[in-house]
Structure 1
């Protein structure tokens, strides 16, 4: 009968408003939870069939929970370099264990980016979820796959060993004095054993003293540093020309077929304006050869690193464009070198493209991994799980893995965190209206109860 339906409608109102209160309570409790997405219970009416003409049967109301997962929270600055936020669409991919992952292991998706480095070196957030990314290959690139979760692995920023950067490029800014007088020893100089500049550096009797030297430090494949010297002797054979030798100090660092430690020998030519003339320079072999120091691996074809060193072959490119011959004192202005000895990790950085890199105390930076961003056609359809995370559902649609900032995926905001989307003023207003609605629904029940009592009393 209609009175019973009215009472049941009141009961449905109590249930729906209880659900609304529960959602508001969760929101208020999580007002400071990183990347928390507010929930809301919307109301929908329930319509029942009207079987008797002229009578109305109440259907009541039902609560329809809705999670605003796709809503973007405010990005706030954080102190830690491993605190990450996503500015835009998408989620971090995370797992509940760092290693030994199989296709059966659940992958969870979260925007809670308060990642810290655990004792094993893995990036893990406060909920115990391990951040996943594409590992860096040896050439610094990444094997990006938009759908294969098995290509991802937990990002580890500690177990990297040490970093060594062998010298590959050296830039020299220097001047040779154009007014330098020709040394008396130049008349008998041949650069051969007994009168070479390399012999003089090695302390061999009869070696030729250079007019000027430039010192280079070369870092080898094991991180050790070696002194390589370029000696210059003014030539009398042609103007604007200097005899030159490249040799190691000590000479025992290299194996050569000629004088002790001598790596290369030839002439260096300059133009009439004082700039270097590499086209006519023979120090590096035939005239016009690029300025390169080539050393074979230890024990290899000479010149090579000494057999007892056990180091790899090395090619050092010399930038001599800033070497001049002017009428002023010979001097070395600067020497730049891209080599770095053994370094240990001292920090971690993440850029807006999601590239996680290790910083070493020898100023080297090594790429470790790239953070993967998962996107869904309907993010609000994801299933919420504990730890402020979500699991994929059919409602959410197919997942696609993207690079941060590409294909509609949000960019990474390093040293930042996403705030909760809860608005306290709106939630407290909802508390008031929900309480009033609950009270009103209870009045429906008491009123229907009184009417039923009147009906029962008619029998007396």
Structure 2
């Protein structure tokens, strides 16, 4: 009688254990498309004195998921060890392998699901939320240098280079004209140069000279102009090239005039055009004029025992009280490198989960059968007792 009852209890414990294990598998399968998700396994053990079974606990599969490319520059994946560090509005710190990040309206990098702040290192080395609000625009810079290159026809009486756009310290654009007038009748190879603005105001003048070989003579390769566009005069240096060289301005007979100007520096206020992360987790900022700057850097966290992390969502973890996170920079020490425009997908193997589901189903059926047989035997025992 007691053994039959124990068999009944054992089969019931098996039903509970298999159903709990199936719950773990169902969670794995439901998160198979969750970026950064790490699957779990349930572990069963025998109850004391062989009185059935129970689920002893669950453990994380710590293997890395497959990294897939995306079209979003702020998506990142960790190739190697580490977790991204997030912080909610209350200051609670979370860890994740999911790098679905974006910038909010304040210029702060946040995860796209919960809008939690992503932590990292600022350009000054300080640790905290990644913020590019001060880097979203390049301040205006005054032009100081203009270089000219190309050929000047020595038989031509004059040559002009127009629409040379320079910028003052406030970011205002000014269109200048470089006018050259042949002075060879006075001095062989000589050209008089004048710089004027759009209104015809003279800003500077000078002279360049060419040798008989068509290259510039020493001492006659540069001139300066001054723009009165702000609180203080702005000096502009016009460089026609190196004496005796062919990389700047030349004067060869039989060749058409091709002189052109290249503004070397200065710009108006320029906004961001794109952002991306390099392998060290450093944000590379590209501006509308093509200039690039290095911004903040992502931080990564590592734990001595990752299996002890507490999962609170499909891809968010809390730090266990028994461990302290080691914080560092990607591609350094024990930390992995960053793959930009990429996401680490779930490490759940669907084929394996389906296979384990079949095993659990068979075990559940067998436990159910044992319970049915035990119930039938008890019924027969009661029936025989009534019959006596």
| TM, length-normalised to structure 1 | 0.66
Structure 1 position 421, deviation (Å): 1.9
Could you list the per-position Cα deviations for residues 179-231 of structure 1 after superposition, in whole angstroms to 9, with x for gaps in the alignment?
467xxxxxxxxxxxxxxxxxxxxxxxxxxxxx334443211222111234444
Q: Which position in structure 2 is the counterpart of 1:81?
A: 73
Aligned residues: 375
How far apart are the structure 1 equivalents of 2:67 and 2:80? 10
Say which of 100, 111, 114 aligns to 1:127: 114
Contact 1:8 1:60 in 2 (8 A): no
Change in CA separation of 1:228 and 1:378 when aligned onto 2, cut-off 3 Å: farther
Q: Secondary structure of 1:18's match?
A: helix
Quick check: 19-28 or 369-378, which moved more?
A: 369-378
Say which of 262, 271, 274 aligns to 1:335: 262
How far apart are the structure 2 equivalents of 1:20 and 1:158? 51
Change in CA separation of 1:77 and 1:178 when aligned onto 2, cut-off 3 Å: same
Structure 1 position 373, deviation (Å): 2.9
Structure 2 runs not aligned, ≥5 long = 242-246
Structure 1 position 176, deviation (Å): 2.4
Say which of 310, 321, 325 aligns to 2:231: 310
Q: Which position in structure 2 is the counterpart of 1:29?
A: 30
Contact 1:162 1:342 in 2 (8 A): yes
Structure 1 position 23, deviation (Å): 0.7
Q: Which position in structure 2 is the counterpart of 1:221?
A: 169
Contact 1:402 1:409 in 2 (8 A): yes
Contact 1:117 1:157 in 2 (8 A): no
Could you list the per-position Cα deviations for residues 322-345 of structure 1 after superposition, in whole angstroms to 9, with x for gaps in the alignment?
221211343324635444333444
Structure 1 position 428, deviation (Å): 1.9
Say which of 434, 443, 446 aligns to 2:360: 434
Contact 1:376 1:400 in 2 (8 A): no
Q: Which position in structure 1 is the counterpart of 2:329?
A: 402
Change in CA separation of 1:241 and 1:381 when aligned onto 2, cut-off 3 Å: farther
Q: Secondary structure of 1:26's match?
A: helix
Structure 1 position 22, deviation (Å): 1.3
| 1:111 matches 2:124 | no
| 1:212 matches 2:159 | yes
Matches within 5 A, 1:317-356: 318=239, 320=241, 321-327=247-253, 328-333=255-260, 335=262, 337-345=264-272, 347-356=274-283
State the Cα RMSD in Å: 4.1
Contact 1:89 1:408 in 2 (8 A): yes
Matches within 5 A, 1:345-384: 345=272, 347-357=274-284, 359-365=286-292, 367-384=294-311
Contact 2:276 2:341 in 1 (8 A): no
Q: Which position in structure 2 is the counterpart of 1:65?
A: 58
Q: Which position in structure 2 is the counterpart of 1:139?
A: none
Q: Which position in structure 2 is the counterpart of 1:256?
A: none
Structure 1 position 452, deviation (Å): 8.5
| TM, length-normalised to structure 2 | 0.76
How far apart are the structure 1 equivalents of 2:273 and 2:30? 38
Could you list the per-position Cα deviations for residues 374-401 of structure 1 after superposition, in whole angstroms to 9, with x for gaps in the alignment?
3334433322122621122366653222
How far apart are the structure 2 equivalents of 1:358 and 1:396? 36
Contact 2:168 2:230 in 1 (8 A): no
